[in-house]
């Protein structure tokens, strides 16, 4: 804090980076898109509200925006009294759906990551497994739902199976691609410095593949969420999918839209979280892409 030292020799960091002058242009460049997005969304909901209130469409099909938000707020701030069989609260169903989703995702990771790594690392495993992987990955998973209902009935097990099948293939395929595309020069560098086969996997292939695996999980979350909703719509007595089905059956449009809105929010937050995670574990890739 002494005046002499700071005036004689400026601190090291001030040489290279100086704070930009505040200006509206600078402020706008940084925050402008946020500002526009907020205005944009506000206008969207106001137009929706006005349109719904005008009575052009029956409230059975289109609720008012305010009605939807109210249902959403109430649904998320209340829980069912203990002992009740079916809860009208969105929060309970959200919790249930998330639990099945994350259980399914966890199982998909436990199966998918080693499977993908093995397929990338071993030609025999790759040759044997790849026709099944491609066949199942290209099959629309909804087509399997009736089969699983036949096998397991309307159970949590059935729902989790569908989520696992939805999420596991992007994880396998990404991990596999990660191993396959590991830079040759990194491998030969490690070999020159004495890496054995195990070291190559542990210290080169796996760290290189990690961001691929995370982006596989990111795709898996998207697919898994579809899996959850489908499984619950087809057969279930709990969860967001069930709530949509029930809202439709009872012509409760504001509940239906509230759940759809919630699905958008959940999906976007999960995907943004994995994006952040990917950038966090592999900052070099983020720079490559820019």
List residues binding other proteins (CB under 8 A): 183, 185-186, 188-195, 199, 203-204, 207-208, 210, 281-284, 287-288
35: Cβ–Cβ under 8 A, 6 or more apart, which residues? 28
By C-beta, is 111 or 195 nearer to other proteins?
195
CB of 86 to other proteins, least distance (A): 49
By C-beta, is 142 or 279 nearer to other proteins?
279
CB of 284 to other proteins, least distance (A): 4
Long-range contacts at 72-78 (CB < 8 A, ≥ 24 apart): 72/258, 72/261, 72/262, 75/255, 75/258, 76/262
Interior angle at CA 261, CA 258 and CA 266, nearest 5: 120
Residue 139: DSSP 8-state: S
Q: Please state whether 181 falls in left (phi above 0), alpha (psi between -120 and 50) or beta.
A: alpha
CB of 125 to other proteins, least distance (A): 19
| Count of alpha carbons within 13 angstroms of residue 13, beta-carbon side | 1
CB of 170 to other proteins, least distance (A): 23
By C-beta, is 64 or 209 nearer to other proteins?
209
d(CA 14, CA 110): 49
CB of 178 to other proteins, least distance (A): 13
SS3 category, 56: coil
By C-beta, is 179 or 243 nearer to other proteins?
179
CB of 39 to other proteins, least distance (A): 37
By C-beta, is 70 or 199 nearer to other proteins?
199
By C-beta, is 36 or 189 nearer to other proteins?
189
By C-beta, is 36 or 281 nearer to other proteins?
281
CB of 186 to other proteins, least distance (A): 6
């Amino acid at each position: 804090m002494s005046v002499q030292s700071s005036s004689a020799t400026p601190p090291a960091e001030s040489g290279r980076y100086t704070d930009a002058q505040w200006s509206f242009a600078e402020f706008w460049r940084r925050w402008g898109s946020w500002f526009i997005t907020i205005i944009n969304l506000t206008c969207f909901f106001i137009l929706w509200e006005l349109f719904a209130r005008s009575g052009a469409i029956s409230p059975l099909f289109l609720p008012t925006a305010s009605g939807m938000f109210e249902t959403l707020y109430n649904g998320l701030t209340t829980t069912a009294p203990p002992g009740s069989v079916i809860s009208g609260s969105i929060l309970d169903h959200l919790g249930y759906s998330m639990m099945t989703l994350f259980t399914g995702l966890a199982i998909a990771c436990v199966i998918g990551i080693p499977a993908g790594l093995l397929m990338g690392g071993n030609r025999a495993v790759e040759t044997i497994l790849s026709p099944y992987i491609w066949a199942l990955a290209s099959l629309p998973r909804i087509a399997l739902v009736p089969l699983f209902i036949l096998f397991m009935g309307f159970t949590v097990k059935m729902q989790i199976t569908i989520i696992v099948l939805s999420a596991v293939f992007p994880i396998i395929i990404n991990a596999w691609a990660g191993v396959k595309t590991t830079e040759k020069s990194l491998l030969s560098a490690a070999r020159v410095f004495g890496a054995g086969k195990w070291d190559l996997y542990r210290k080169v292939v796996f760290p290189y593949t990690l961001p691929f695996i995370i982006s596989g999980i990111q795709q898996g979350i998207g697919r898994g969420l579809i899996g959850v909703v489908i499984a619950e719509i087809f057969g279930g007595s709990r969860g967001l999918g069930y709530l949509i089905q029930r809202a439709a059956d009872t012509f409760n449009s504001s509940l239906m839209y509230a759940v759809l809105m919630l699905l958008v929010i959940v999906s976007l937050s999960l995907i943004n979280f994995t994006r952040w995670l990917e950038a966090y574990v592999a900052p070099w890739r983020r720079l490559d892409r820019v």
